[in-house]
């Protein structure tokens, strides 16, 4: 899988923080039932790698990516867990080089012209724009002129209410959203609520 396929799989990518790896498989099945085919599981909890491993093994119909990669060691761990794609909030030369050398489906974060240029120098033209809501749609749109080859997945402050606004931007292909799989739904094991949110997101 490459990032082109990830972007093409759906206009909304759920961004999920899991405290219990046992929730990973029913969560992924709920997303899939709602029409979502990708999920980014953030490496913010000790359960994250086991969660990615479980989804990759038991729900292969959904591409389980690893988010919040901060260094090549995180990339190593996520790759070993079977992640289908890899996402970082920003970028570093070391991360860009490691992902490029391995030919991974990597989505580096970039929010300035200098960061876009660095990503392009390493062969990455599909980028994560973070944090999208605080920096604003006008900032993203302004990059379309000097960087026509760059396509964004915008994350950070994306809600049910503003997702369509970001998706309407000429250089945005998809958004990352944390409201699809909420902490409250996970705590309650409310898979029906997650499926309903997924169905709404898949229809955007």
| Owning domain of residue 109 | 3-202
Q: What does the pLDDT read at residue 75?
A: 97
Q: For the chain, give the longest Cα–Cα distance.
A: 47
Give pLDDT tens digits for 152-186: 999 999 999 999 999 999 999 999 999 999 999 99
Q: What does the pLDDT read at residue 169?
A: 97
Q: Which of 61, 128, 164, 195 is catalytic?
A: 128
Question: Is 58 one of the catalytic residues?
Answer: no
Q: Which of 40, 61, 164, 195 is catalytic?
A: 40
β pairing state of 172-177 and 151-154: parallel
Give pLDDT tens digits for 5-49: 999 999 999 999 999 999 999 999 999 999 999 999 999 999 999
Residue 74: pLDDT band with limits 50, 70, 90 = very high
What's the CATH number where 157 sits? 3.20.20.70
Question: Is 40 one of the catalytic residues?
Answer: yes
Q: What pTM was estimated for this model as a whole?
A: 0.97
Q: What does the pLDDT read at residue 28?
A: 98
Q: What does the pLDDT read at residue 101?
A: 96
What six digits make up the tokens of 160? 């049910």
What's the mean per-residue pLDDT of the chain?
Answer: 97
Burial label for 27, CB within 10 Å (0-12, 13-18, 19+), is buried
Q: Is 198 helix (H, G, I), strand (E, B) or coil?
A: helix
Domains in the chain, number: 1
Sheet holding 86-87, edge to edge: 106-107, 86-87, 63-67, 38-42, 12-16, 172-177, 151-154, 126-129
Question: CA-CA distance, 54 to 131, in Å (whole number)?
Answer: 29
User: Which is nearest to 174 in space by CA: 202, 200, 149?
Assistant: 202
Q: What does the pLDDT read at residue 66?
A: 98
């Amino acid at each position: 899988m490459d990032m082109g396929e990830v972007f093409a799989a759906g206009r909304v990518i759920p961004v999920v923080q899991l405290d219990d790896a046992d929730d990973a498989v029913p969560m992924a099945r709920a997303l899939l039932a709602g029409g979502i085919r990708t999920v980014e599981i953030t490496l913010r909890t000790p359960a994250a790698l086991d969660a990615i491993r479980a989804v990759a093994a038991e729900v292969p119909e959904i591409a389980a990516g690893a988010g919040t990669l901060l260094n090549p060691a995180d990339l190593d761990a996520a790759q070993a867990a079977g992640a289908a794609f890899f996402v970082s909030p920003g970028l570093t030369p070391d991360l860009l080089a490691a992902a490029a050398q391995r030919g991974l489906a990597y989505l580096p974060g970039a929010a300035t012209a200098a960061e876009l240029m660095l990503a392009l120098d390493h062969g990455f033209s599909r980028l994560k724009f973070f944090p999208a809501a605080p920096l604003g749609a006008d900032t993203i749109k302004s990059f379309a002129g000097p960087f026509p080859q760059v396509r964004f997945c915008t994350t950070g402050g994306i809600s049910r209410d503003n997702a369509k606004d970001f998706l309407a931007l000429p250089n945005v292909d998809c958004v990352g959203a944390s409201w699809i799989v909420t902490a409250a739904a996970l705590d309650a094991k409310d898979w029906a609520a997650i499926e309903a949110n997924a169905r709404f997101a898949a229809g955007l």
